[in-house]
Amino acid sequence: MKQPLSRYLDHAVLKPDMTRTEAEEAINLGLSFNTRTVCIRPTDIELAKSMCRGTDTDVCVVLGFPHGCSLPSSKVAEAEAYAKREVDEVDMVSQFGMARGGEWGSFRRDIEGVFQVLHPRGILLKVILESSILHPDQIAEATHICSDLGVAHVKTSTGFNGGCASEEAIEIMLNAVRGNTKVKASGGIRSFEQANRFIEMGCDRLGVGFGTTPVLFGDSVQANRSDY
């Protein structure tokens, strides 16, 4: 059953130079559109939790963001800190350099350590592949590994490393997912038409910057439409 557009959106509040007041304003914008989550910096967890309490908008926090090259043990420590703070979801940047180099065992272990912390606590894990810098066969293999581990979503891009979501990459990911793993398009989504196209393709989530969320709707009436 199709949902309103707002329920596909992870409303990203991730600019590193934002003040607390600016982050609060950006989170409040997501709440005004009833987005699925606000996707926030680790420093804003408590702020987002307090603002989202009692709403239909969940708190998602990024991990290993935006480059993904932290030590696996550091990523596990991050995951444990987030679990203690009872976040709802985590968007983790994979070791995409390892994917480029074919180091699939290391790529898998990096994700598996975080998954083993979050999954028993019911916290959804979304893994960012940075698909724009991977070859099609690398996108497919990375997606297979994430699906085999049981992560909730594979995600195209951070939006911070130069690349955007593409229909080609999304098609590869949709064809490669297994089990209950879903696909999230993120990076460069700037219009309602583009967002709708990714949903029609089969994406379950869309990652958009906080400044883009109102652009997708055009007006407040569209936010509650259910024919997306």
Q: Is the pLDDT of residue 50 over 60?
A: yes
The pair of three-digit structure tokens given for residue 93, joined into one six-digit string:
């940047």
Instruction: Please indicate whether residue 15 is annotated as part of the active site.
Output: no
Instruction: Please indicate whether residue 10 is annotated as part of the active site.
Output: no
φ, ψ dihedrals at 101, nearest 5°: -90, 0
The pair of three-digit structure tokens given for residue 28, joined into one six-digit string:
């409040």
Instruction: Please indicate whether residue 204 is annotated as part of the active site.
Output: no
Find the catalytic residue in 10, 91, 126, 182.
Answer: 91
Cα–Cα distances in angstroms (integers) from residue 208 to residues 37, 117, 135, in the given order: 11, 27, 24
Cα–Cα distances in angstroms (integers) from residue 17 to residues 28, 62, 78, 89, 177, in the given order: 18, 16, 21, 23, 35
CATH code assigned at 140 = 3.20.20.70
CA 55, CA 51: separation in Å to the nearest integer?
A: 8
Across the chain, what does the average pLDDT equal? Answer: 94
Please give the residue range of the domain that contains residue 171. Answer: 5-224
Q: Is the pLDDT of residue 184 over 90?
A: yes
Looking from the CA of 143 toward its CB, the CA atoms found within 13 Å total 28
Find the catalytic residue in 75, 126, 182, 184.
Answer: 184
Give helix 104-118 / helix 72-84 axis angle, nearest 10°. Answer: 20
Give me the mean pLDDT over the 102-110 stretch: 98
CA 128, CA 23: separation in Å to the nearest integer?
A: 23
Find the catalytic residue in 75, 126, 155, 182.
Answer: 155
Token look-up 């958009």 returns: 208
Looking from the CA of 164 toward its CB, the CA atoms found within 13 Å total 11
- Angle (CA) 193 13 9, round 5°: 35
φ, ψ dihedrals at 54, nearest 5°: 85, 5
Give me the mean pLDDT over the 116-122 stretch: 98
Among 106-115, 159-168, 216-225, top mean pLDDT goes to: 106-115
pLDDT value, residue 227: 35
- Angle (CA) 123 128 133, round 5°: 175
pLDDT value, residue 161: 84
pLDDT value, residue 9: 98
CA 5, CA 203: separation in Å to the nearest integer?
A: 12
The number of domains in the chain is: 1
Bridge pairing between strands 9-13 and 205-209:
parallel
